[in-house]
Structure 1
Amino acid sequence: MKQHKAALEVNEIPAMHKWLTLSLQHLFAMFGATILVPFLTGLSPAVALVSSGFGTLAYLLITKGKVPAYLGSSFAFIAPIIAVSESSGIAGAMVGSFFIGIVYGLVALLISMFGTGWLMKILPPVVVGPVIIVIGLGLASTAIDMAMYIPGSETYSGTHFTVALVTLAITIVASIFFRGFFSLVPILFGIVGGYLFALTQGIVDTSTIQAEWAAITSAESLGGFIAALFQMPEFVIPFVDFSPFEVFSWEIIFLMVPLALVTITEHTGDQMVLSKVVGRNFLEKPGLHRSILGDGAATVIASFLGGPPNTTYGENIGVLAITRVYSVFVIGGAAVIAIVFGFIGMITAIIGSIPSAVMGGVSILLFGIIASSGLRMLIDNNIDLGEKRNLIISSVILVIGVGGAFIQVTDNIQIAGMALSAIIGILLNLVLPGQAKGESETNMFEAPKEEASREEQKHGVA
């Protein structure tokens, strides 16, 4: 990737009159996807915003302020969160998220001690690629149900499906024809455009928005105005709202935790891309173990608040590439704004009024992109499916994952779907003789060659 002179280096502080604008760009880039995850899983979008903000600040702290990355809601855990919430409630999903964060921490510790070779052996592209495909295709029915049916029923609605298709069309147009920063936020354009069209179709419930507006405009003092404007998010806090010890079950662990290994691999890919964009080797300095630990800390923080697991966002990496503003202070500013937005009742009311058909429309594209990114991983790493070993591993993962196979360990413990496909894929890769033939000779965990940044050149550091 061609390097360009940075507009702002990693540790440079922007001018005050530019800071807010630059941070808002990152907020808009992550906003659509971050609120979609809680919308689909029944969690609070306001809490998701707050937890992404705090998680990003923790990430910046753990990586010593050297990695300009924003963290938002992870799509990989949508299906597991839904499954766990149905059996154990939101509290169960938070327990699972906590242990996901712990796994991140353990992997970070192992990487700091033994390097990345062991991780490459258990998670080669021939395993990770098909599992990512399963994650995307496993969510396909969720997107279609939201797009076609009246919420809370199985009644087909032509109006809802039309809204979903219009939303999808707007998202596609924004993705293909928009340029610059606007090309990075097609989800946001799709949601806004779909919402406006849904208003014309009469399927938007604006009663909460009207109530919030009435409370704000009727305030007779500054204190009353502030009280009406801000609202406490619906946090779900352990030992306050529930007892983790009473909620814990091995079923939660088996449903959610195995996928953490897949998202760790995706995180590594994001760090490699980010390193190329910024021109610094983040896998060596501050180190992959620190960035993975930062992801884990952000996910643990989310589990303490009632938000979904967090991960680094490719959309925000795209913003860095376009603007060439690499400042961690800009990222931190976006995190602070996200936290503030989570406490504004009007924003929460607007998000809550978005029809499921609108979210279904953008989900059709998003979930397909997830599946396609798994296919792209196979292609980029030159996985030869003409080789029987590769073909067997990928085929078994796809059928078990998409087909919904499960193992009933006990009456209350079940290993199902995506988690089971990931486990079996890892086992097949370890026990089948030979190596995955056709892969790129470059280790996908190998750090890219570091290029001197403007700041380092200034001090004569190569």
Structure 2
Amino acid sequence: MENETKLQIHEVPKWNQWLILSLQHLFAMFGATILVPVLTGLSPAIALISSGVGTIAYLIVTKGQIPAYLGSSFAFIMPVIAAMSIGGPEGVMIGTFTAGVIYGITALLIKTTGVKWLMNLLPPIVVGPVIMVIGLGLASTAIEMAMNFDEETGTYIDPMLHFSVALTTLFITIVASVYFKGFFNLIPILFGIVGGYTVAAWLGLVDFAEVAEAPWFRVPDFVTPFATFDPQWSWSIVAIMAPIAVVTIAEHIGDQMVLSKVAGKNFVKQPGLHRSILGDGIATIIASLVGGPPNTTYGENIGVLAITRVFSVFVIGGAGVLAILFGFIGKVEALIASIPGAVMGGVSILLFGIIASSGMRMLIDNQIDFGVKRNLIIASVILVTGIGGAFIQIGDTLEIAGMALATLFGIVLHAILPGKEHGQGNGKMFGSLHEQVRENNNDRAA
């Protein structure tokens, strides 16, 4: 049977299969997980380590019942870049820690009050446009990387050469995404980066000197509070990063619904949505303690589960261990650092566009009616304030800007404008969750 489960959640694979099965998950998450720190100026090695440790922590928090891998969150790219400009990597860690705390608070509220309040707070008319802002707000970053923009001089240096590399990378990524089958279809980012890197090296855009000099084993420069720096609280950074956790929680719920369907389990019921959200929060807090970006469950790895039908948490845990080991290999970090901006720019053109399109798809799937003025108003305000870079300055220490401000506006407008039912559309976004929650409640009543 094609859909027959090969390994159950608590089954341990044979030793000669375990490594290969875990490597598949490592490859699936690798391209996206290292892309986030490369774009934001954080360490790719630490991102790998924090994703591995965070995944293992997630498995522990969820009692080893949810086979999910956690990697760097794309939703936080803009906030992390903004936080870096204010407080450097140390400031980012303050914001990341706060985002993890928001996860924890949300998990506690869901445990005690249920999920209805969250559904009312984050309808598709709010979440969809905010996701679009995440992608479109990064469009200029992708193009500047693709065309080799020099921030010091404010000019493009040899833009056509670099853009040709970016377009080649983009083409390879698209071909891999559309035409490759099976597991290979799940790692188009990795194919794009490897292919683009090869072309860039052939054109002389890659310097291998640091790769050759790098040691095989190297301890990354961890950014640890009270060890490498003294934390300085910044309300501006908190205001930039913390609200995005609200949006990623909505994405997390979507991942849980898909994962439940793929695995044929009700993860909302057992071990519970509160545990999975808490697991995300713990993983993100761990990242904040070592210098990594916020973590989130990865759709790419859910795709691996769907294809392989191997749901063993031991395989997922093995991938986490491998990610940690890779983070301590100096040549891997040096190799990642040698990837030209044009290559990353080419991949980013597709990735950021897909993020924006995902927000649009959410609106379409939920049949949001833009003939209703309130929906048109909410989406318009979110898009323009988020992409335009609007900000509100409160005193000397607090600034709410960009995506955080757009999210806040969307939540407030949905709360005060009449006709809230129009913001939910057909309810498809949380429809499956409603059914799982009702099933859970019925079991409790019985």
Aligned match of 1:337: 322
Task: Count the aligned residue pairs.
Answer: 432
Q: Secondary structure at the match of 2:71?
A: strand
Q: 2 CA distance for matches of 1:365 and 1:266?
A: 20
Residue 389 of structure 1 and its aligned partner are, at CA, apart by 1.3
Q: Which residue of 2 aligns with 1:306?
A: 291
User: Is residue 393–residue 425 contact of structure 1 (8 Å, CA) maintained in 2?
Assistant: yes
1:353 to 324, 329, 338: 338
Aligned-pair CA distance for 1:346: 1.1
**2:250 aligned to which of 247, 256, 265:** 265
The question of 1:380 aligning with 2:365 is answered: yes
The alignment's C-alpha RMSD in Å is 1.4
TM-score calculated relative to the size of structure 2: 0.95
CA distance in 2, matches of 1:3, 1:261: 37
Question: Is structure 2 residue 142 aligned with structure 1 residue 155?
Answer: no
TM-score for the superposition, normalised by structure 1 = 0.91
Deviates more, 1:395-404 or 1:328-337: 395-404
> Contact 1:276–1:448 (CA<8 Å) still a contact in 2?
no
Of the structure 1 ranges 437-446 and 164-173, higher mean CA displacement relative to structure 2 is found in 437-446
Q: Which residue of 2 aligns with 1:28?
A: 27
Kindly indicate whether residue 73 of structure 2 is the aligned counterpart of residue 74 of structure 1.
yes
**Which residue is equivalent to 2:271?**
286
**2:404 and 2:208 mapped to 1: Cα distance?**
39
Measured against aligned partners, the alpha-carbon deviations of 1:384-437 in whole angstroms (never above 9, x if no partner) come to 111111111111111111111111112332111100000000000000012232
After superposition, residues 441-456 of structure 1 pair within 5 angstroms as 441-442=427-428, 444=430, 446-447=432-433
- Is 1:231–2:236 an aligned residue pair? no
Give how far 1:443 is off.
Answer: 6.2
Secondary structure of the 2:262 match is helix
Paired position in structure 2 for 1:184: 186
* Correspondence for 1:209: 211
Partner of 2:444: none
Partner of 1:135: 134
Gaps of 5+ in 1: 213-227, 451-462
Question: Greater CA deviation, 203-212 or 276-285?
Answer: 203-212
Match of 1:242 among 210, 229, 234: 229
The yes-or-no answer on 1:170 pairing with 2:172 is yes
**Map of 2:41 onto structure 1:** 42
CA distance in 1, matches of 2:161, 2:201: 12
Report if aligned partners of 2:362, 2:429 keep a CA contact under 8 Å in 1: no
Q: Give runs of ≥4 in structure 1 deviating > 4 Å.
A: 150-153
Q: In structure 2, what is the Cα distance between the partners aligned to 1:442 and 1:190?
A: 33
Corresponding position of 2:201: 199
Q: How many percent of aligned residue pairs carry the same amino acid?
A: 63
In the alignment, what sits opposite 1:368? 353
Bigger CA drift: 403-412 or 53-62?
Answer: 403-412
CA deviations on 1:38-96 (whole Å, 9 max, x unpaired) are 00000000000000000000000000000000000000111111111111111000000
Q: Distance in 2 between matches of 1:448 and 1:316?
A: 25
Report if the CA contact (8 A) 1:385-1:391 is conserved: yes
Q: Distance in 1 between matches of 2:171 and 2:396?
A: 45
Provide the rounded CA distance (Å) in 1 between the counterparts of 2:434 and 2:99: 27
Gaps of 5+ in 2: 437-446
Measure, in 2, the Cα distance between the counterparts of 1:261 and 1:107: 9
CA deviation after TM superposition for structure 1 residue 274, in Å: 0.3
State the one-letter code of the partner of 1:180. G
What is the aligned partner in structure 1 of residue 419 from structure 2?
Answer: 434
